[in-house]
Chain A
Amino acid sequence: MPPIVDPKKCNGCAGREESFCEEACPGDLMYVGQDGKSHCHAARDCWDCMSCVKMCPRNAIETRMPYQLGYHKARLVPLMGKNSITWKCTDINGQTVTYKYRNRLDVKD
């Protein structure tokens, strides 16, 4: 049931012309509704690419495996750093593993 937006955390990127998750979605699936929160047009059309999850500055979006494919409930949370990314993954048994690595090189001008 991807992606799940937490309405308590989401503010629709108020003040931005377009929210970060709208900008991130390759399927044009995210939109900010009348309630000022982000929503997904159709959960079934999501590719689970997690671009919106990575881009959200308030960590308000979670990708959840469709139950038809994976059991309740595992979590994978990215934290974007400068030139690095940290992922925290918790499986259905509560085991947590963290991965951190460089995702950009410093570019000399």
Chain B
Amino acid sequence: MPRMAPNPPSLDAVETVRVDCDVLIIGGGNAGCFSAVEAAKLDPSLKVVIMEKAHIMRSGACSAGMDAINTYIPEGKTPEDLVRWCRSQVGGGPIREDLALSNARELNESVDDLERWGLPILRDDKGNIRYRGAWDISIHGEQLKPIMAEKAIEAGAEVHNRVACTQLLMDGNRCIGALGFGVRDGKFYVFRAKATINATGGAAGLYKSYTADATDSHHQIWMCPYCVGTGYAVGIRQGAEMTSMEQRWVATRTKDFCGPVDTISVGYKAPIINAKGERIMQSRYAHLGADKAPRYIRANAPMEEWLAGRGPTYCDTRGMAPELAQQMMTDYLNERPSFVLFLASRGQDPVKEPIEIYGSDPYIVGGHTQSGFWVDMERMTTIPGLFAAGETAGGNPNKFVGGCAAEGKLALRGAAAYIAGLELPEPDAAQVEAEKARVFAPLLRGEAFDGLRALEMEERLQRLMDEYAGGTSQFYRTNEERLDYALKHLAMLRSQVQYLKAGDLHDLMAVHEVIDRIDVAEVLCHHLRFRKETRWQGWQTRSDYPEVDPAYDCHVESRKNLATGEIETFTRPYEQLVPGDRYKP
């Protein structure tokens, strides 16, 4: 890939590249790589193209590595058991049990693929997989991303690195590909595809992180900060139905460095304690299952301690056996190596001092919670021709690495069936030209233009969301009036997008990222506003409706009305398919 191209003197100077394919995958991450591999297995004649914003070898949420596969069905357990656990982790749902079941049936094979491809899965001396909890297994996943990427490339996928998606290519209400621009080569790209799999990952950076100081630590967040919600945004703009966007992912993370905590609390059984040394899960949450309480309860618990004046909160690693501590540090080196650097920069030995924990900033990640596109069993969204997999596909929480991989396969199978016999029209020239003009406008406003930098708008958005839509500074609480305020200001931000200017192509990517974040934030606020109850404290806390209301035991949905531009909210019923007590695993 060449160095960054100079800014074009005019729109006419921007070259347009046209790529035709059978299946377009937006995002060469976990799900996308599995889609590509599955395509080669199913029908090697399929032409598969991957559109990747960074470089596929180290892009997205898996770029730093991984220390565990959070779900792998052990011997003696069934996919139904996994769905029961999954449902109980989100407080009895509602979840899409149809999707969860089909994913669970595909799960182990996908994890086995990873091991066959070279991912070290830790086993005991008898060769049995080492479980660190009921469902999660330990890996040495430092190389997880390159391992998946190599297989996608081997499978024959044509990878376009450093091409950022900005819009779907539409033929009426049908998706026939995507549009975007090269963040290095400065070209405009038109991908025409019979089916498009949207696998961009989730949305980070909608909210201000409490570590976002003005200088070097803006991106000290847990989710990959380069996953900005583009996948959701391009669908929202075409009127796709979104589900459960109010179910944000908020997690207990290490404090001042937003690193994973399951590694310590689940993997090494280190109890969560408050400032007084009280084991809070046992003393305050026993009725909800203590250490096995639903995930949002565990995520919210340390923040409740802070709010009540009993912080700081810790994972008590003191007295841990030295070889276990060494293993724990190795886990961190596999997933977030800089957390080990962070501890060293505090001069901290976890065997002597407990690891401090706090709540993360909220994310929209449908591979963790269940916000994303409403999809059918084939993983097709409500836009014909547009499929979703991984973090973008909603209704089906706790997918994590293995589940996103499985869903990549399922979406590809759905896409392959959909394209049989399908003929596509030529892309609509007016649509393509209009998008090209929109994309490059911030780069062409001229030196003298008195405008805004993407960063300024991003920081305004993040503070707005933090304070009014239930961010960390507000202990995740919001109410009707604050959400109305947030929506009013989001509309103002959108009206000011016309003032955004970019200094170069990298900057242009940042401009489009903030525009996408605004679109996702708006839908998120409408969902939070609609659910007039508190079903998942922390993930979704309404201080004006603090209790669970049975009237909201349903999926909250939304769709942008393309005639009015308004976001319309409605519900879909919950269907229990797997029998048993919804609140128990």
Contact of B215 among A24, A55, A68, A70 (CB under 8 A): A68
The reply to whether the CB of B487 lies closer than 8 angstroms to some CB of chain A is: no
B: interface residue count bin: 35 or more
Bound-state Cα–Cα, A52 to B10, Å: 34
The smallest C-beta distance from B60 to any residue of chain A, in angstroms, reads 6
Q: Is B118 part of the contact surface with A, judged by Cβ < 8 Å? A: yes
A91-109 CB contacts (< 8 Å) to partner B? 91-93, 97, 99, 101-107
Question: Chain B residues near A107 (CB, 8 Å)?
Answer: 116-118
* Cβ B63 vs Cβ A51 within 8 A: yes
Instruction: Return the contact of B57 from the options A2, A23, A41, A93 (Cβ within 8 A).
Output: A23
List of A residues within 8 angstroms of B213 by Cβ? 66, 68
CB nearest neighbor in B for A17: B1
B58 and A44 form a contact (CB under 8 A): no
- Interface flags for A51-85 (1: CB within 8 Å of B; 0: not) read 10011000000010111111111111010000001
- Which applies to chain B's interface (DSSP): helix, strand, loop or mixed? loop
CA distance A46 to B329 in the complex (A): 22
Most chain A CB atoms below 10 A, which of B60, B257, B330, B333:
B333
Q: Which residues of B sit under 8 angstroms from A99, Cβ to Cβ?
A: 326, 329-330, 333
Minimum CB distance partner of A97 in chain B: B329
Majority secondary structure of chain A interface residues (helix, strand, loop or mixed): loop
Interface string of A25-41 (1 = CB under 8 A from B): 11111011000000001
Docked complex Cα distance between A97 and B327 (Å): 13
Q: Does residue B4 face the partner (Cβ distance < 8 Å to A)?
A: yes
Q: Which residues of B contact A102 (CB under 8 A)?
A: 120, 140
Given the known A-B contacts A17-B1, A28-B54, A91-B344, are A45 and B337 also in contact in the complex, defined by CB atoms under 8 Å? no
Closest B-chain residue to A67, C-beta based?
A: B216
Q: From residue 326 to 376 of chain B, which have CB atoms closer than 8 A to chain A?
A: 326, 329-330, 333-334, 336-338, 340-348
Question: With contacts A45-B219, A105-B115, A107-B117 known, is A26 near B341, CB below 8 A?
Answer: no
Report the bound CA distance from A5 to B454 in whole Å. Answer: 26
Cα distance A32–B2 in the bound complex, in angstroms: 10
Interchain CA distance A49-B218 in the complex, whole Å: 14
Whether the pair B224, A26 counts as a contact (CB closer than 8 A) is yes
From B116, B162, B213, B345, residue with most partner A Cβ within 10 Å: B345
Q: Which listed residue, B55, B143, B345, B509, touches A74 by the CB 8 Å rule?
A: B345
B residues whose Cβ falls under 8 Å from a Cβ of A: 1-4, 53-55, 57-60, 63-64, 115-120, 140, 142-143, 147, 162, 183-184, 211, 213, 215-221, 224-226, 256-257, 326, 329-330, 333-334, 336-338, 340-348, 506, 509
The chain A residues found within 8 Å of chain B, CB to CB, are: 1-2, 17-18, 22-29, 31-32, 41, 43-51, 54-55, 63, 65-76, 78, 85, 87, 89-93, 97, 99, 101-107
What 8 A-B pairs come out closest when comparing CB atoms?
A70-B345, A74-B344, A49-B64, A91-B344, A66-B216, A48-B338, A74-B345, A76-B341
